[in-house]
Amino acid sequence: MSLSDYEINGQIIDRLTLTRQLLDGFVSDYSGQRIGLVTLGNPPAIWLPLTSDKIIVQDAISRIRTFLGGE
């Protein structure tokens, strides 16, 4: 996730930044009742339980780091 191998508008960005941007857009467009976040790693964990507050979800997305899922 830390590799900088994507280019958007002439700017090189890392995979985690791209993932955050995509997730943020998904949350903004999401019309369901509740949404949550799960990190997949060793062990997997619920990063944010189901909620209807999109602002909290977007804040949690901004705090995701590559080490959250373990080694």
Count of domains for the chain:
1
Distance separating alpha carbons of residues 32 and 14, to the nearest angstrom = 29
Residue 71 lies in a domain: no
pTM above 0.85, yes or no: no
Residue pair 1/66 in contact (Cβ under 8 Å)? The answer is yes
Residue 16 belongs to a domain = yes
3-25 per-position pLDDT tens digit: 677 788 888 988 888 889 999 99
Domain residue limits at 38: 6-66
Are the C-beta atoms of residues 18 and 8 closer than 8 Å to each other? yes
User: Would 50 be classed as within a structural domain?
Assistant: yes
Per-residue pLDDT tens over the stretch 23-70: 999 999 999 999 999 988 788 889 899 999 999 999 999 998 776 555
